[in-house]
A and B are shown apart, each in its own frame.
Chain A
Amino acid sequence: MRYSYYPGCSLHSTASEYDLSTRAVMEALGVELVELSDWNCCGASSGHASSHFLTYALPLRNLILAEKQAAGDLLVPCAACYNLLKTADYKMASRDGEAESLNSEMQTIMGRRYEGRVQVRHVLEVLALPEIRRKIAAGVTRPLSGLKVAAYYGCLLSRPPQVVAFEDNPEQPTTMDAVLRLAGAEPVPWWGKTDCCGASLAISQPGLVETMVGRIVSAASYAGATALVTACPLCQSNLDTRQAPGQEMMPVFFITELLGLALGLAGSDKWLRRHMCDTQPVLAGVGGSLTAAHGKAGM
């Protein structure tokens, strides 16, 4: 199994632990990743706010590069990048007047058009493939037993459903819960799964975002979870840094980090040390001896 890999800007900086853990987990599951050569920022979360043309053109350049690289479907770990790439692909598939004019602009700029042959896949979608699930089930050496988590999907993995759907019910997604169960963790039923955390306003409206994050964290904690799990660098960073001061902090994992721990992969200590909110207390006692593997994660 081979994919072109589009990490996106966050995985090269603020969410490097998501990049490292995705690569490690995919390798352990026999999935080869070929990083898309010369990829550019897809524009999330400002391109669409400033220009209709940028909404499509920035992701479109990446789709054209992926088509040229021809190393399989395009694997994307960031929910925002995934959403924009899917949106551009959906637009181009409509072949309406605007799609045609976008293609001729790209022909002038890059000397290439988009033929519509790229399948954009989110990491979660690949982890949920039957063949991959079997490999996960067979590969778990340190089940995360006793770890109660709230799977948080956020906005952009399932909205709008006609463009990005890989969930049967976009209002009640389940793929991450299923993967967590395979890893031995206990995902709780809760109502905050697809609520917006406000990540696109994290810098410009921190006050509003604290309210939004607060709602999600208290819903997760009310449902009995001790940690949140995400599949998006913007959600993770926002939830990890915008919990109101003075409250008890809830750690926020990437799904690939927890899978890496369950599969017993080396390097998990390095991933978890990059979190702002200490992950150690909730991992203490989980699956017996997990904490020994990942060392100190505190400030």
Chain B
Amino acid sequence: MAAIEPVVEFGRRVETHSGQPVNRCYQCRKCSGGCPLTFAMDILPHQLIRLVQLGLSEKALQSKTIWVCAACRTCVSRCPNGIDTAAVADALKQMAVESGTAVAENKVYAFHQSFLQSVRSNGRLHELGMIAGYKLKTKTYTQDLAMGLGMFRRGKLKLMAEKISRRDEIRQIFARSGEVKA
């Protein structure tokens, strides 16, 4: 069993990490009412916030919800207390990876990793490189092949990466980001 953390401690860490006033939530459920991804979530957005308030860190960190949130920002636009649940989910993703918690949606994590790897080395996103990296990580070699070919034929995917000239600045930004490595 994991070490027991005082209830307020976890909530406070999430508040600091996400910059969101999680403790203001009074469970009105407007966030969940408007969320377009509830059909794919294991816990609803308002429940995620409640778990954080109660310090139930394992349930929050292991949830699928934090990974399938599409960051559409409907919830924050409607929350009477200005809570950005997407930012809370982002903070929880990072805390899950840092604490070695099993990631509930590996493919989403692999996508973010491949995306940032491409940006880190080129300064811009190279879609083909990103997709290759993603497929290696997830072994989804056959997914979307026909679509990819169609896009390639229409000149939508470039073979060569576009690189910016001051890539050192991007490398320094990443070095300071504390972004969690694969």
Contact = CB atoms under 8 A, between A and B. Distances in A.
Contacts of B8: none
A239 interface: no
Contacts of A55: 90
25 contacts: A9-B124, A9-B127, A14-B127, A15-B156, A38-B164, A40-B164, A46-B119, A48-B71, A48-B90, A50-B180, A51-B180, A53-B173, A54-B116, A57-B176, A61-B169, A155-B70, A159-B73, A170-B77, A196-B36, A196-B37, A201-B108, A204-B107, A204-B110, A208-B37, A208-B39
A54 B156 contact: no
Contacts of B40: 205, 208
B83 to A, nearest CB: 11
Contact of B77 (A58, A61, A161, A195): A161
Given A16-B156, A208-B40, A45 B147 contact: no
B17 interface: yes
Contact of A38 (B18, B125, B166, B178): B166
Contact of A40 (B36, B91, B111, B123): B123
Interface in B124-182: 124-125, 127, 131, 134, 143-144, 147, 150-151, 154-158, 162, 164-166, 169-170, 172-174, 176-180
A168 interface: no
A61 B71 contact: no
Nearest to A98: B19
A212 interface: yes
Interface string B49-88: 0000000000000000000101111101100000010010
| Closest 6 pairs between A and B when the two form their complex, measured CB to CB | A196-B72, A46-B115, A9-B125, A204-B111, A159-B73, A46-B112
A14 B77 CA distance: 30
B155 A274 contact: yes
A181 to B, nearest CB: 26
B105 interface: yes
Contacts of A195: 36
Contacts of A39: 124, 164
Contacts of B154: 273-276
B90 A57 contact: no
A53 B172 CA distance: 12
B151 A14 contact: yes
B47 interface: no
Given A201-B108, A203-B134, 13 more contacts: A10-B125, A12-B124, A41-B119, A47-B119, A49-B71, A50-B116, A58-B173, A156-B72, A159-B77, A196-B36, A196-B37, A208-B39, A276-B147
A interface bracket (residues with beta carbon within 8 Å of B): 35 or more
Contacts, number: 170
Interface string A99-110: 000000100111
A109 to B, nearest CB: 5
A274 B152 CA distance: 10
A109 B170 CA distance: 9
Contacts of B84: 160
Nearest to B119: A41
Contact of B124 (A40, A46, A199): A40
Contact of B178 (A51, A194, A212): A51
B41 to A, nearest CB: 10
B76 A200 contact: no
A298 B73 CA distance: 35
A52 B170 contact: no
B150 A276 contact: yes
B73 A49 contact: no
B157 A13 contact: yes
Nearest to A109: B172
Given A38-B164, A155-B72, A211-B39, A50 B112 contact: yes
A143 B127 CA distance: 36
Contacts of A204: 105, 107-108, 110-111, 134
Given A12-B124, A41-B119, A276-B147, A160 B73 contact: yes
A43 interface: yes
